[in-house]
Amino acid sequence: MAVFQRNNALLYLTGAAAVTTVVSIRAFEILMALALITLIVTRRPWRLPPVWLPLSLFLLGTLVSLMASGHVREGLPQIRKFYVYLMLFLVTSAFETARQVRWLALGWTLAAALSSLWALTQFLQKYTAFLESEYRASGQAHPDFYTFYIDARITGFMGHWMTLGGELMMALLLIGALVFLATDRSWTQWLIAAALPVAAALAATWTRSMWLGAFCGGVYLIWYWKPWTLLLLPLLVALVLLANPFSLRERALSAVSPHPGQTDSNAHRAELRRIGWEMIKAHPWLGVGPEQVSRDYRNYIRPDMPSPRASEYYGHLENDYLQYAAERGVPTALALLWMIGWALSDFVRALGRLPPNAAERWILHAAVALTIAVLVSGFFSWNLNNSEVLAMFLAVMGCGYVAVWEVASNRA
């Protein structure tokens, strides 16, 4: 009985830590620390997924890059982030069954729905403030809602709209996997009800990279649910753009044509990619060092590139792949991609061994869909540097391995 209670304590603390990634970074850190202490005190064996090897190489490469950069103190925030990566091992050690993972997914759904409802309340407050303010009558060049809202978007329970967008992207795909592919249908109506505010809040974040990630992950899930429904997607997109809720049409079109009066963020991202490429060419093995892009970027601006503008942010490269390669070197960036690719391969191979009605199927599909979404959105943002997004992604990866091991156990 005592062993059972200790195991339950680890399970509950780890699950609570994973769920609170959508609620509060401080609560997540505290609960994760308690879960780690419980894991150590109870002497429960750590279950290490095979991706521990490339992850270890990534962390080692980060340390070597930091020491070689000559700016150890400035780079320490990236070393402190090593703590977040323990989330993967906590989940694989605490969770054992698909049933347990399902309860975790329901917890994420509830937390995301509450955050979304608060975010939509924020949106209503912002839109009301816009209508009631003197902004539209101030004589400014572009007194429209787009200009009013773009730099002060909704954040939900988080501190930034990109954090909220990344978490809602993953939560929506988890809900989609449960609704489309889970064999247990007991919570389907509640899940659909929760998906509505989550989808609406994701739309209202105006985070185009997260929209694209959610779209690609959603296409994957729908393909394995009812592939013929993909034919309806163009019609759905057209209807949304015509209805234009939350000014989505203007935001979507800004991906190819900047909004009047706004700096072209697409051109700025192209500029950052060129700066990153110059850094990689100059320092291919160890990079410029963790947290050094913002300090060194001026040294990599070529004569044919635009001069830095005070209105633009040069703290990072808005791209996972270039950021890690420029900061820490190509080998370290490849180690991270090796870890993600290895996990993706394990999930796909496990799916190939499952019967159609297996309880683990939705978990593996969810893990694949989320990985696709993170990889796609990461081309336009440094989403894996965000602790909340990273922790949730690692927790889902851990859930994927719980399903992989349960599949292997059932076949043995």
- DSSP calls for 372-390: HHHHHHTTSS-GGGSHHHH
User: 162-196 pLDDT, tens per residue?
Assistant: 999 999 999 999 999 999 999 998 899 999 999 99
- Cα distances (angstroms) measured from residue 388 to each of 333, 337, 391: 20, 19, 5
Comparing 28 with 185, which gets the higher pLDDT? 28
- 15-21: average pLDDT: 98
- 356-365: average pLDDT: 93
Phi–psi pair at 153, nearest 5 degrees: -85, 175
The two three-digit tokens of residue 344, written as one number: 């993706």
In this prediction, residue 115 carries a pLDDT of 98
On the question of pLDDT at 61 being above 60, the answer is yes
In this prediction, residue 4 carries a pLDDT of 40
In this prediction, residue 92 carries a pLDDT of 98
- 274-286: average pLDDT: 97
- 10-16: average pLDDT: 97
pTM over 0.85: yes
At 200, is the pLDDT very low, low, confident or very high (cuts 50, 70, 90)? Answer: very high
- 231-254: average pLDDT: 87
In this prediction, residue 255 carries a pLDDT of 77
The two three-digit tokens of residue 51, written as one number: 């991706």
In this prediction, residue 141 carries a pLDDT of 46
CA dist 55 and 13 (Å) reads: 24
364 contact partners, CB below 8 Å, separation of at least 6: 347, 348, 350, 351, 354, 400, 403, 404
In this prediction, residue 356 carries a pLDDT of 81
In this prediction, residue 145 carries a pLDDT of 84
On the question of pLDDT at 211 being above 90, the answer is yes
What mean pLDDT, rounded, does the chain reach? 92
- 12-39: average pLDDT: 97
The two three-digit tokens of residue 355, written as one number: 């019967």
At 2, is the pLDDT very low, low, confident or very high (cuts 50, 70, 90)? Answer: very low
| Cα separation of the two ends of the chain | 28
Average the pLDDT over each of 136-140, 264-268, 367-371 and give the range with the smallest value.
Answer: 136-140
Burial class (CB in 10 A: 0-12, 13-18, 19+), 114: middle
Outline where DSSP puts E strands in 270-391: none
In this prediction, residue 135 carries a pLDDT of 52
On the question of pLDDT at 289 being above 50, the answer is yes
